[in-house]
Amino acid sequence: MASGFRVITPKTAAQKQKLQNLPAGNVTMVKKGKKTYYVFPDPAHNQAYVGGPKEYRAYQQLRADKKLAREDLQDAEMYQDATMEWSMWEGGEGVWGPMGGPGAF
């Protein structure tokens, strides 16, 4: 909905059947005449989210932003343990060299 998709609820048996036939968890492109629609079914709630190309682009951008935010969070969680005692790890400077890269052999 944040990307502008509208919620529709099927009213007839034929509309409900069409909703049930759409792959759950996926956006499906539907052409009707010269228009293109994107439909995200929510059969558990007997509704679907419908938008055009503009709303679909906004949806893709929101997904990309969310993915980047999730990756940033994972990175932050991975590096959050500032108390980790790197000197306790075997190898130390002799293995990695004074600049942190592999030492000269």
Asked if the structure places residue 104 within a domain, the reply is no
SS3 state at 44: helix
Q: Which amino acid, 2? A: A
pLDDT at 29 over 70: yes
For residue range 52-82, list pLDDT tens digits in order.
Answer: 999 989 988 888 887 766 766 665 555 555 5
- What is the extent of the structural domain holding 66? 6-79
Could you identify the residue written with the tokens 């994107």?
38
Under 8 Å CB-to-CB from 30, ≥6 apart: which residues?
36, 37, 38, 39
Asked if the structure places residue 58 within a domain, the reply is yes
Count of the separate structural domains present in the chain: 1
Distances (CA, A) of 42 to 4, 39, 73: 16, 10, 28
Asked if the structure places residue 74 within a domain, the reply is yes
